[in-house]
Structure 1
């Protein structure tokens, strides 16, 4: 059903199970409507049912599964409304972050962003969509680290779970990675100029892309969507 990871002792088991299941749902390895078996997953990970149960609860909070008493846990379809609402909240948080980041960003932070951009370009050349998405997330996480606000990333990561499924479905031809790289480059240029308004505008352009692409992808994959 999904690629397992080797569990390590440095991180809670439930978080590792959650992250693996989240990635599997977002990258379409597990399709909408599929029943997730608590027993089978605990066996695959060689763990007790408790951390799997806790991972299911966190997935439900992110809108990726629905837990039905006496019936089981099912992968949800993509809610167009939740994607639009999530984009609105995410942009509000990240625009506030990037305005501060534009004033506080250091040369070392800019080097991290430039290295990240190179890795995005490399992932695109290799047609590695999953790795590209990881680097995209890392780009935004670096911005939040600039202002030392880890809670902001935790909030955004939970909000954007439904959005990430749309992002994955659109990266082939609706919203190609090279376009997203160019948007990221505009953000970095604004940050180098320490221009908060320019940075916020570039970020708005980047984050609002999904509002244009969701209509197309929902038509292409109608069976995946609700609303």
Structure 2
């Protein structure tokens, strides 16, 4: 587990654990110890217990009476639902951006950062730049809050991405992002929508392969 500076609230402990689960630092089935985490972050067990409850409410942990708290498995249904919603929303955002032709400098900058992270083999940085690329598209469309709404839906999707991007060709993701950006810069709404849908459907290939490779990590 990754050490952190002493936290002052259950929310901070929750946020740290949340990131650890999404990044794969805490794998499905891992047991969480109130005592160990409380000692690690310099808190009593009560805020740590509250953080566990919040993590369970997120669908990322299971609290089993008399047995303890365990990191939950990745929900295939939740991944597919989030992907479906993202495709519907982001394909519309792509059409909006292509039709209004706003400044796309931020998207280009994140694409460059993603390429740098890929070259360095830094998967967390790669995915962070990926997220910012999509956030920048929502912002360019004039709907930055839409991305925040999507963020709340895609926790299980992000867990899959941190797993799959260690196995799949990250260059393919960069190429898909480049195709989206090129279409947006050209003001081609049809091409931008098509490129966005192609990109977000990549997960339909990754998910079954990851579930077959790591069956103990997934649940329906």
TM-score computed with the length of structure 1 as normaliser = 0.84
Q: Does 2:185 match 1:189?
A: no
Asked if residue 215 in structure 1 is aligned to residue 214 in structure 2, the reply is no
What do you get for the CA RMSD once the two structures are aligned?
A: 2.5
Q: 1:45 offset after TM fit, Å?
A: 2.5
User: 1:1-227 counterparts in 2 under 5 A?
Assistant: 1=1, 3-6=2-5, 13-47=9-43, 52-53=48-49, 55-68=51-64, 71-107=67-103, 110-173=104-167, 175-227=168-220
Is contact 1:90-1:159 (8 Å) kept?
A: no
Could you tell me whether the CA contact under 8 Å between 1:7 and 1:16 is conserved in 2?
no
**SS where residue 74 of structure 1 aligns?**
strand
- May I ask how many residue pairs the two structures share in their alignment? 220
Q: Conserved in 2, the CA contact under 8 Å of 1:82 and 1:162?
A: yes
Question: Separation in 1 of the partners of 2:22 and 2:40?
Answer: 20
Structure 1 residues not aligned, in runs of 5+: none
8 Å CA contact retained: 1:66, 1:74: yes
**Could you tell me whether the CA contact under 8 Å between 2:32 and 2:70 is conserved in 1?**
yes
Moved more, 138-147 or 184-193: 138-147
SS in 2 for 1:73: strand
**Per the alignment, in what secondary structure is the counterpart of residue 67 of structure 1?**
strand
How has the CA–CA distance of structure 1 residues 112 and 73 changed in structure 2, closer, same or farther, with 3 Å as cutoff?
Answer: same
What is the CA distance between 1:82 and its match in structure 2?
A: 1.8
1:183 and 1:202 in contact (8 A); partners too: yes
SS at match of 2:114: helix
Following superposition, the deviation at residue 100 of structure 1 comes to: 2.2
For residues 57-84 of structure 1, what are the alpha-carbon distances to aligned partners after superposition, in whole Å with 9 as ceiling and x for unaligned?
Answer: 4433432112345654321111222211
